[in-house]
Structure 1
Amino acid sequence: MIRIRLGRRTYVGGGRETTAAHPFLERELTGWDPTMSDREVYDAARGWWRLSERALREKYAVVVGEGTVRMVVEIDRWAENGDRRGFAGTVLEPGHPVHDALVGEPDPVPTGSRNPVAYFRHPAEAGTCRCGCGDTVAAGEWAQGHDQRALHELLNEDFDGSVSRFLDWYHHHRAADAT
């Protein structure tokens, strides 16, 4: 998960800030205060942040205001604006296990750092391996090695175990999809 800690509410557009009219993230406010609507908090948290490539692999953004988790967003896309990134996604509602585990709780990454961005793992983001084995995975979709096993099963079932036949099929269909 990526934690976004919002500072005090401020208005966008005056001074150095030039992202107020960006098509991916048009907004008037950054930061947080208790009078903001959920939509304003969502837009304030989305960006623009200096983030490493690691951010692109995170599934959830945990939004913290005044030391408390205010919202969790399931990230479904990213955009870039110069050297900064912003995300979009779905705000989780009560009843979702990640929402219920985090919203209203203290900042899950208590630190003295001034950096508002931090990465962490939380048990609520654990899932079940995509192969159907029932194993729990802390992050991602597959238990270790199970993605490779699934690929090899596919190769055996549909391509008689031949990587060459699979690659020929893939490149043929990829070229057909491009036209």
Structure 2
Amino acid sequence: MIHITLRKTSLTNDPTDPLRREYSGWDETASIEDNWKMNHGYFSIGERGDRQQYVAFSYGGKVVMVGRIDRIVPARGKPGKRIIEGAPLGPGEPIWDAFVGKPTPEKAVGVRNPITYVEEGQAFGRQCRCGCGEVVFESDFVRGHDQTALHQRVARIGTIREFLDWFDAIETDGRPTIPTAAATLTATGTIDLTVLDGEVQMSFTPAGSPS
């Protein structure tokens, strides 16, 4: 997806503007359609832009508009500049609902070039896969948290040796046996044992407990 950082509305003062605009930039009082007309060109967009389906515009630290790209054409009288032809999208469109109102993509913050490219699936981050709740960009884990996630899963099996034995069993015959510790019951009651799809479930009800 192409990402474009917009400035505040200003007069173009350019009689050769191929879009015949009087001004450009984000106008908070204008409609999405009018803002699209003011800001869909012209820009220095390379060949990479031709492979993109959407364009997002940011202003004031958040995404304010997204649009569909039909094609990108040369701007007449502006060598090296191009115009995005397409249409703005609105609420209810998945791409709009996913991006508009969210913070400007991290990789575009502080960059002098107003044109950047972001992956649509990772533009605004996702939670670290270790479960800590922190947001990461273009990665699965906060730095070092991959080890946290790994050790959490090893601990569910037991020791590292037990984990290796369990994993090797999967690799060998696909019938792993999860190691368990011995337990001695010293109370009177009823044990319910259920085997379902290869998973064993056991519950113990002490004598005298309400059913």
Q: Does 1:93 align with 2:90?
A: yes
In 1, Cα distance between the equivalents of 2:49 and 2:15? 23
Post-superposition offset of 1:119: 0.2
The count of aligned residue pairs is: 119
Greater radius of gyration (CA): 2
Relative distance call for 1:37 and 1:73 in structure 2 (3 A) is same
Relative distance call for 1:111 and 1:47 in structure 2 (3 A) is same
In the other structure, the counterpart of 1:112 is 110
Q: Which has the higher helix share?
A: 1
In 1, Cα distance between the equivalents of 2:108 and 2:71? 27
Q: Which deviates more from structure 2 when the two are superposed, residues 74-83 or residues 28-37?
A: 28-37
In the other structure, the counterpart of 1:59 is 53
In the other structure, the counterpart of 2:176 is none
SS at structure 1 position matched to 2:21: coil
CA contact (8 A) 1:78 1:88 kept: yes
In the other structure, the counterpart of 1:37 is 31
Gaps of 5+ in 2: 124-211
Post-superposition offset of 1:44: 2.5
In 1, Cα distance between the equivalents of 2:40 and 2:97? 21
**Quick one: which amino acid aligns to residue 114 of structure 1?**
R
Deviation track 1:20-53 (CA, whole Å, cap 9, x = no partner) reads 3x2xx33222111312222231023211111111
**Quick one: which amino acid aligns to residue 40 of structure 1?**
D
Q: Does 1:103 align with 2:100?
A: yes
Normalized against structure 1, the TM-score is what? 0.61
Deviation track 1:72-128 (CA, whole Å, cap 9, x = no partner) reads 101002221221011021211211111100011111244211111100102289xxx
In the other structure, the counterpart of 2:20 is 26
In the other structure, the counterpart of 1:5 is 5
In 2, Cα distance between the equivalents of 1:107 and 1:124? 12
Greater relative contact order, per chain length (Cα 8 Å cut-off, separation 6+): 1
In 1, Cα distance between the equivalents of 2:16 and 2:95? 30
In 1, Cα distance between the equivalents of 2:68 and 2:98? 14
SS at structure 2 position matched to 1:61: strand
Gaps of 5+ in 1: 126-179
Moved over 4 A (4+): none
Post-superposition offset of 1:19: 4.0
